[in-house]
Amino acid sequence: MTQSAHRHERLLSTVAEVRTVLCFRVPEAALRERLPPGWRAVPDTDGAHAGANLRLPLTDQQMVLDADGKPRPAARFAPLVVPAMRDGMDVPAPMVIAVITAHVGEGNYDPYGNAILAKGEVRRCSTTGADAITSIEEAWAFECRDGTRLSLALRYVCGVPVYGRRDFKIYSGARPEFYRIYRVEHGEDIIMSKPLGIDRTQSLAFKAIGPQLSRLFDGGAQLISIAALPWTRREVWLDQGTGGSAGA
């Protein structure tokens, strides 16, 4: 896909990354506090994630290229994404209400205007036995200066990823008039889904505490699904009329 195919859009970056996506049902009152006026959360209706109103894609970038194909620093981050809509919209759109990011190097780490810098660590180990069964063990940890902490320790048996492709706009909760366009290809392995009765997790420990997370995850948050995306190719485009900047 080239820039000439989208006259009013500008390619910002092309990213290769690994993601582990946790989908939750969290208290609606806590989401209302984080959404801009006029917007409301709309729970997901997709089969594997049905009922979820908050997505947490833990993201480990492997490669970032700018619009000219030059390499840029990669990052590790965890955006809080709400399927949301306002009056006049036909369907919900993802809205980023915060991004916990461990960004190193030059460039803009805060394209949506609501990033929280953190120290971040990711560990991932893959084991395939003589029976050809592969299990993954991974650990994620983000720690912010304000006391916000996010961690996941997960072990699961791999399935066969399903190819998917999506083009969509993703909005900023801090500046709701601003959005970026994602054109994404990925392989998705549904590890756990309450709606579908799937569970290949072998161990799971999740913690989200501190001023950025406690209201969302304390008192009634339910884990609806977990998806592993062992590979994702994501193009980031900007509508020329929205302003904004690149970032990852």
Q: What is the pLDDT of residues 125-152, one digit of tens each?
A: 999 999 999 999 999 999 999 999 999 9
Query: What pLDDT score was predicted for residue 106?
Result: 66
Query: What pLDDT score was predicted for residue 201?
Result: 98
Which contiguous run of DSSP H or E holds residue 31? helix 28-34
- Tell me the domains of the chain and their CATH numbers: 9-239 (2.40.400)
Residue segments in the chain with a per-residue pLDDT below the cut of 50: 1-5, 244, 246
| Neighbouring residues of 231: CB distance < 8 A, sequence distance ≥ 6 | 16, 18, 161, 186, 187
Query: What pLDDT score was predicted for residue 4?
Result: 42
Q: Nearest to residue 49, comparing CAs of 196, 210, 248?
A: 196
Q: Yes or no: say if 100 and 148 are a contact pair by the CB < 8 Å rule.
A: yes
d(CA 136, CA 70): 32
Query: What pLDDT score was predicted for residue 1?
Result: 43
Query: What pLDDT score was predicted for residue 183?
Result: 98
Rg (CA), the chain: 18
Cβ–Cβ contacts within 10 Å for residue 115, how many?
20
Query: What pLDDT score was predicted for residue 109?
Result: 87
